[in-house]
Amino acid sequence: MNDVWQSDWSLMTPEWIVLAVAVVLLLIDVAMPDERSRRPLAWGAALGAVLALGATAALIPAEPASILHGTFRLDSFAKAFKLLLLAGGALALLIVAGWNPKEGSRYGGEFAYLLLFALLGAMMTASSGDLLTLFVSVELLTVSSYILAGLRKTVAASNEAALKYVINGGIATAVMLFGMSYVFGLTGTTNLNEIARRLQETNEPYMLALAFLLLLIGVSFKLAAVPFHMWAPDVYEGAPVPATAFFAVVSKTAGFVLLLRLLVTMFAAAPAEGRDPSSLLLSMQPAIAVLAGLTMIIGSVVALRQRSLKRLLAYSSIAHAGYLLAGFAAMSWAMIDSLWIYLLAYLLMNMGAFAIVSHIVDETGSDDWDGLTGLYRHRPLLAAALGLFLLSLAGIPGTAGFIAKLHLFIGLVVTEPGHYVLAAVMAITTVISYVYYFNLIVQLFFRPLFSSAPLGRMSAGLSAAVVLCALGTLALGWAPGLAYNVLAQFDHFGDFLP
Amino acid sequence: MSNIYANSYAIVFVFLCLGVLLPVGALTLGRWLRPHVPSEAKETTYESGNNPFHDSRIQFQVRYYLFALLFVIFDVETVFFYPWAVVYDQLGLFAFVEMVLFITLLALGLIYAWKKKVLRWM
C-alpha cells in the first residue's frame, strides 16, 4: 500500500481542481437562500474550468507517467484531449452563466456543478488506462448528462429528452459492457496495455471481432453515429441550450476519446483472421467506414428539412461526427492529430453558434429559425458572428472549419490504399450541408426583420463565449500554425500505444 | 483456450434452455394432470388468506420513491462497510482514508437532500 502514498498525485491536479470546485459550489448552493441568483456559481465553475485548463497546460512538459497501478495515465494523448475538454467545458459554463430561460430556473446551481462533474468524467476518460476506470468515468459523464438534459423540470420536452437519453444511454452502456466482458474473458485483465499485450498472443479472431463490434456499437450510441443516432435530435431539442452545447461538443469529444482509448489501444496489434491485414483494427476498417459514410449522408440530408435551430444543429453535429469517423476510418499516421484539430475547430464554431442560439431561444421563447430572420438589420455584429460560425461549420476557406476538414480529407487520400469513396462522400455531403448553412445565412442577412420586438442585450457570459469562439475560429482559419504549435508539443502521440 | 471459452457459453446456453423449458413444461404438464372445476371463490385474487377489498390499481405516494432512493444509498454504504471492517487490520491507513472520503461524499449527498427538503414529510 506504500506505493499509493508515494504516487505522484500532482499528475491529477486538473481533476482535483475540477472536483474541489464542484464540491465547494455544491456546498455554497445548499447554504444559499433560495431567492438569490445562482449566476455567480456558474461564473465560479467557469473559473474553475479555466484554472484546470491552466494546470493541464502546465503539465504538458511532464513525462508520460501512470499512477494507481496503471489505471490513471497522463500521456500526451490525455493532455491534448483534456485541453479540448476543459476549453469546451469552460465555454459551456459561460453559456450557463448567460442562460436566462423564459420559464425561470431554480436549478442554476445544479447546472453549474453537474456540468463540472460531467466534465470530470470526460477528463478521467481521457486519462484512463484501465477498462474499469474508463467505464466508471464514462458513466460519471453520462449520468450527469441525463440530469442536465432534464433540468427544465416544468417543460415537457425536457423531461422527454432526459427519459430518452437515459434509455438509449442505458442500452449503449449495456452493449459496451458486454463487449468489455468478452475482452476480459479472453485476457483475464482490465489494464488496457496489458490487454493489448495479451491479445497479441491469443488466436481468437472471431471472438475478438465480436467484442470489437459490440464496443464499436456501444461507442457509436454515445457519438450519435447513424444508425444509432435517433435519440440525439430529441435530446438536443428538449435539453436546455447550454446542456445541448455541452452534449454536442464535450460529450462528443469524450466519445471520440473513448473510441481511441478503447479500440485503438486494445485492438491495434491484435491478430485478425487470415494473414492480411495483420491487425484486427485494420480488418475492421470497412465496418467503421460504412458507419462513417452513413452518418455523413443521413446527418446532412435530414438536416435539410429542419426548421428548429436546435434540431438543425443536432443533425449538423451528427454529420460532423461522420466526418470525424471518416478520419478515424482512414487510420493515417496523423489520425489523432487531425482528429484533435477537427475537434478543436468543431468546439469553437459550435460553442459560438450555441451561445447565439441560447440568446435567441431565451429572448423569443422558441427555437424556430424565424428568430434569426433579418437579425442583421438591428444586431449586425451578432449576425456577423453567427455568419462566421455557420461559414466555419460549412467549411469555407478562411475559417477554422476549412483547415480542420482539409486535414481529415488529406488523411483519407494519402493512406495506402486511399479511401476515395469516403473522401467522395465527404465532399458531396459537405456540398449538401452548404444548402442548410447558407439558408440560415440568407435568413440572417437578406430578409426583412420578422419579429417586431428587437432582441434584448446579450448577457456578459454569452458575449464572452461568442467573442472567444469568433476569435478562435478566425485565428485557426488564418493562422493554423497556432494549433500546430500546440500539437508539436505532443510529438504525434508517440506514447499513445504501449 | 477457445474451447474452454466456447464451452463455458455452451453451459450458459443449456441453462437458458432449462430456464425457458422448465416453467413451460411444468405448467403444461400441470394443465393436463389437474382437474378443471372453476368456482367464484377460486377466481378471486390470492391475498394470503385475506379477502381482497378494493382495486389494486391505486395511486401510491410518490414521496416513497425518494425515501426508497435514500434507503438504497445507505444500504449500499453498509454493504461496503462490512467487508472493510472485517479486514480493517490488514488494509491499513489508506483504506481508512478512502472510507472517510466515501462517507464524506455520502454526507454531502445527505446534506443536499436535507436542504432540498427531501427528508420533510409534506
Residue of A nearest to B112 (CA): A30
Residue of chain B with shortest Cα separation from A6: B94
- Put simply, the answer to whether A203 touches B2 (Cβ < 8 Å) is yes
Task: Report CB contact under 8 Å: A204, B2.
Answer: yes
The enclosing H or E element of A442 equals helix A420-446
What is the average pLDDT across B30-55?
Answer: 83
CB contact under 8 A, A1 and B108: no
pLDDT over 90 (residue A271): no
- The whole-number average pLDDT for the span A10-25 is 92
Hey, how many other C-beta atoms are within 10 angstroms of the C-beta on B7? 10
Lowest pLDDT segment from A112-116, A237-241, A492-496, B67-71:
A492-496
Residues 207-236 on A with a CB inside 8 Å of B are 207
Position A2 pLDDT exceeds 60: no
Answer yes or no: is the ipTM higher than 0.85: no
Contact between A473 and A389 under an 8 Å Cβ cutoff? The reply is yes
Q: CB of A3 within 8 Å of any CB in chain B?
A: no
Under DSSP, is residue A496 helix (H, G, I), strand (E, B) or coil? Answer: coil
Look at residue A39 and tell me if it is in a domain.
yes
Q: Does position A282 have pLDDT exceeding 90, yes or no?
A: no
- The answer on pLDDT for B62 being more than 90 is no
B74 to chain A nearest CA, in Å?
20
- Say yes or no for a CB contact (<8 Å) between B111 and A204: no
Question: Does residue A237 lie in a domain region?
Answer: yes
Q: What are the residue ranges of helices labelled H in A60-191?
A: 76-97, 108-127, 131-149, 156-187
Q: Which is more confidently placed, A388 or A8?
A: A388
Under 8 Å CB-to-CB from B3, ≥6 apart: which residues? none
Average pLDDT, chain A: 89
Question: Are A204 and B112 inside 8 Å of each other by CB?
Answer: no
Look at the block and give the residue holding cell 462490512: B82
Which of B91, B108, B116 is closest, CB to CB, to A23? Answer: B108
Residue-wise pLDDT tens digits, A422-473: 999 999 999 999 999 999 999 888 888 766 666 778 888 999 999 999 999 9
Minimal CA separation from A65 to chain B, in Å? 22
Percent of chain B with pLDDT over 90: 18
Provide the domain count of chain A. Answer: 1
Residues B5, A202: C-beta atoms closer than 8 Å: no
The shortest CB-CB distance from A185 to any of B5, B112, B116 is to: B5
Kindly state the percentage of chain A with pLDDT values over 90: 59
| Of the partner residues B1, B94, B116, the one whose CB lies closest to the CB of residue A5 | B94
State the pLDDT confidence band at A109, using cuts at 50, 70 and 90.
confident
pLDDT value of residue A276? 59
A318-362: per-residue pLDDT in tens?
999 999 999 999 888 888 999 999 999 999 999 999 999 999 888
Q: What is the pLDDT of residues A24-61, one digit of tens each?
A: 999 999 888 888 888 889 999 999 999 999 999 999 88
**Predicted local confidence at residue B122, as pLDDT:** 65
**pLDDT value for A355:** 94
* A186 at interface of B, judged by CB pairs closer than 8 A: yes
Amino acid A277: pLDDT: 59
Residue A274: the pLDDT is 66
d(CA A208, CA A272): 8
- Judged by CB atoms closer than 8 Å, whether chains meet at B2 and A207 is answered as yes
pLDDT at A4: 66
Q: Is A416 helix (H, G, I), strand (E, B) or coil?
A: coil
Domain presence at residue A498: no
CA distance A59 to A72: 15
Closest CB to A4: pick one of B5, B94, B116.
B94
Widest distance between CA atoms in chain B:
69
Instruction: Say if residue A6's pLDDT is above 80.
Output: no
pLDDT number for residue A451: 65
- The proportion of chain B whose per-residue pLDDT surpasses 70, expressed as a percent, equals 97
Give percent above pLDDT 70 in chain A: 97
Phi, psi of B58 (to 5 degrees): -115, 165
Contacts of A185 in chain B (CB under 8 A): 5
CB A248 within 8 A of CB A313: yes
Domain span at residue A349 reads 2-493
Distance from CA of A188 to the nearest CA of B (A): 12
Position A49 scores a pLDDT of: 95
**Residue A273 falls within a domain, yes or no?**
yes
Q: Which residues on B lie below 8 Å from A200 (Cβ)?
A: none
Residues present in chain A in total: 498
Average pLDDT over residues B11-24: 94
Asked if the model's pLDDT at residue A116 lies above 90, the reply is yes
Q: At what angle do helices A252-259 and A76-97 cross, to 10 degrees?
A: 170
How high is the mean pLDDT of chain B?
A: 85
Q: How many CA atoms lie within 13 A of B6 on its CB side?
A: 7
Which secondary-structure segment (H or E) carries A74? strand A72-74
- Do residue B115 and residue A4 have CB atoms under 8 angstroms apart? no
Is the model's pLDDT at A372 over the cut of 70?
Answer: yes
| CB of A449 less than 8 A from some CB of B | no
Q: Any chain A CB within 8 A of the CB of B2?
A: yes
Chain B residues close to A4, C-beta within 8 Å: 94
Report the gap between the CA of A391 and the closest CA in chain B (Å). Answer: 45
Residues of chain B with Cβ-Cβ distance to A202 below 8 Å are 1
Q: Which residues of B touch A207 (CB under 8 A)?
A: 2, 5
Q: How far A204 CA sits from the closest chain B CA (Å)?
A: 7
What is the pLDDT, as a whole number, of residue B1? Answer: 58
Give the mean model confidence (pLDDT) for residues A137-164: 93
What is the pLDDT, as a whole number, of residue B24?
96
Chain B partners within 8 Å of A27 (Cβ)? 108, 111
**Sequence spans of domains, chain B:** 2-43, 63-115
Q: In angstroms, what separates the C-alpha of B18 from chain A's closest C-alpha?
A: 23
Residues 6+ positions from A447 with CB-CB distance below 8 Å: A373, A374
A1:B92 CB<8 A = yes
Helix, strand or coil, per DSSP, at residue A60: coil
Q: How far is B12 from chain A (nearest CA, A)?
A: 14
**pLDDT-based confidence at A226, cuts 50/70/90?**
confident
Question: At CA B5, angle to CA B3 and CA B9, rounded to 5?
Answer: 110
pLDDT of residue A346: 95
Contact at CB, B1 and A5, closer than 8 angstroms:
no
CB of A203 within 8 Å of a chain B CB? The answer is yes
Residue A264: inside a domain: yes
From CA A269, how far away is CA A170, in angstroms rounded? 30
Measure the CA–CA gap between A414 and A411, rounded to whole angstroms: 6
Handedness of CA A255, A225, A247, A160 (dihedral sign): negative
Report whether A87 contacts A50 (CB < 8 A). Answer: no
Report the predicted TM-score, pTM, of the whole model to 2 decimal places. 0.89
